[in-house]
A and B are shown apart, each in its own frame.
Chain A
Amino acid sequence: MLDNLASANTKAKMSARDVRVFYGPKEAIKGVSIDIDMDNVVAFIGPSGCGKSTFLRTLNRMNDTIPIARVEGDITLDGENIYSSSMDVVQLRARVGMVFQKPNPFPKSIYDNVAYGPRIHGLAPNKAELDQIVENSLVRAGLWNEVKDRLQDSGTALSGGQQQRLCIARAIAVDPEVILMDEPCSALDPIATAKIEELIHELRGRYAIVIVTHNMQQAARVSQKTAFFHLGTMVEYGDTSDIFTNPREERTRDYITGRYG
């Protein structure tokens, strides 16, 4: 598998090599290697507890917030080790943004939710530029037309689907290179879900996107590459069209055809 990765390495935005994550003595991720590029949305699938979210969270060091978590192996962003002591974690999380399962807007206005990141990172020297960043982010997140006349309303007053798109706008506002999504639609209705999925299509190419999902149809719809995780290992990683029509591994097949345990 490492041989396959080496050839694709040249255009990888992020690369993980033999990544292991321990929660205390328990090894939750047992040596995962993967390349993530700008052109392909990558979906992580697998049963609960398989490690897909844990692994996702290593990609922007979210596991740092868990005291007993320990990460081994190499993860690079543009070739730079994100776990090196010289890496600024706040800066890293701006470059590798994250969207969570439950929409979590700040209890602030729609405008301030999006403006928050650019303000703390000093991305906008004046009000006019900040306005522009907020507008662009909301447009890209497909929310602008719905909120442009009420930017001062509270973000928490929006519907669930709108809140999630607001969170995506907030992630986009700091001009990230990678967006990690951890089950971004599991709390949304089918129409809001479709809007997020359409958004993922539109964002593809501009950002490297990794999505964790329990919904295999969603993985099939939004991703070009799929990785199947099981018991802390990455069992299979390949083109989504192959994984869902003709998986190489029996464990993958049993999972995606609904024969798992």
Chain B
Amino acid sequence: MNHSLNEHTLKAFDGDLITLRGLIAEIGGRAEKAVEGAMAALANNDHDLARQVVEGDKRIDALEEQIDRMVIQTIALRAPMADDLRELVAALKISGVVERIGDYAKNIAKRVLLIDADQQIDAARLLPAMADATRQLVDDAFTAFAKRDADLAVAVCAQDKTVDDFYNSIFRALIAHMIEYPEHVGAGTHLLFIAKNLERIGDHATNVAEMVYFAVMGQSMNERERGDDALAPGSD
């Protein structure tokens, strides 16, 4: 089936959908920025930036509410069907998932404020690379939404394995380090949670991608395309 869609006879409906897509793009962009900011704050021990990330999460929460209201209103007023209905349901779920991504970024930023900057832990040196991979995943998931690109959505799900691998590696390195240097357990635990948060953000990016796939294709992504959800140590 052709995935490009013509305009509605009722132009105001197109206006609603365009507004909604704009809001999704905004919330996604803000979540991505929050992840980036939190990790930059960690790298530079920048407490001002960390506080900005914490503060900025309020805007993400507000956007989620705005999107939810708009989806409900559009369903009520426009009685959407087929592709339109699926896109609206996807938007509703995506806004909830992105709000969680924002929360994880906020949690990372809060930990930056608590970590003792004097404790340099070499075992966490992979964290910036993991953060890059995670941020890229979030970016791709929202690009897939904006372009109605099911192939990119599948790619996002496949790429999540990279983030999982980073997490497994960092997990092992940090545990080994903390056994050797018990005085680093405080900072090490924060870093471990930060890695875990990034891993969860990656999972949520795949959730967004799965919603995009559903909206475009009208069916759920199958197991093979989703890729194996390898159980990471300490993952739930």
Contacts and interface: CB of A to CB of B under 8 A. Distances in A.
B9 A244 contact: no
Of A217, A247, A261, most buried by chain B (CB within 10 Å of CB) is: A247
A217 B75 CA distance: 12
A199 interface: no
A80 interface: no
Nearest to B217: A246
Interface residues on B, range: 10 to 19
Interface stretch (B82-90, B119-127, B193-201): B82-90
B83 A253 contact: yes
Given A245-B86, A246-B82, A253-B82, A258 B8 contact: yes
Interface in A205-261: 216-217, 220, 244-250, 252-254, 256-261
Contacts of B84: 257
Contact of B1 (A217, A253, A258): A253
Given A245-B85, A246-B86, A250-B2, A257 B80 contact: yes
Contact of B81 (A248, A250, A257, A261): A257
Contacts of B6: 254, 259
B5 A259 contact: yes
A2 to B, nearest CB: 22
Given A245-B218, A250-B2, A259 B85 contact: no
A248 B1 CA distance: 7
A256 B79 contact: no
B-side interface mostly: loop
A212 B2 CA distance: 28
A261 B7 CA distance: 10
B83 A257 contact: yes
A194 to B, nearest CB: 16
Interface in B69-95: 79-86
A245 B2 CA distance: 16
Contacts of B83: 253, 257
A228 to B, nearest CB: 11
A59 to B, nearest CB: 27
A250 B10 CA distance: 18
B202 to A, nearest CB: 29
B222 to A, nearest CB: 15
B219 interface: yes
Contacts of B1: 248-250, 253
A258 B9 contact: yes
A224 B197 CA distance: 45
A259 to B, nearest CB: 5
Contacts of B81: 216, 220, 244-245, 256-258
A211 B198 CA distance: 54
A244 B13 CA distance: 18
Nearest to B214: A246
Given A250-B1, A250-B2, A256 B8 contact: no
A190 B166 CA distance: 59
A247 B8 contact: no
Contacts of A254: 6
Given A217-B79, A257-B80, A257-B81, A246 B5 contact: no
B8 A257 contact: yes
B146 to A, nearest CB: 20
A244 B82 CA distance: 5
Contacts of A260: 9
Contacts of A259: 5-9
B116 to A, nearest CB: 54
A80 B121 CA distance: 85
Interface string B209-235: 000000000110000000000000000
A249 B218 CA distance: 12
Interface string B53-81: 00000000000000000000000000111
Nearest to A259: B6
Contacts of A261: 9
Interface of A: 216-217, 220, 244-250, 252-254, 256-261
Interface of B: 1-2, 5-10, 13, 79-86, 218-219
26 contacts: A216-B81, A220-B81, A244-B81, A244-B82, A245-B85, A245-B218, A247-B82, A248-B1, A250-B2, A253-B1, A253-B82, A253-B83, A256-B81, A257-B8, A257-B80, A257-B81, A257-B82, A257-B83, A258-B8, A258-B9, A258-B10, A258-B13, A259-B6, A259-B8, A259-B9, A260-B9
Return the 5 tightest CB-CB contacts between A and B, nearest first.
Answer: A246-B218, A256-B81, A259-B6, A258-B8, A257-B84
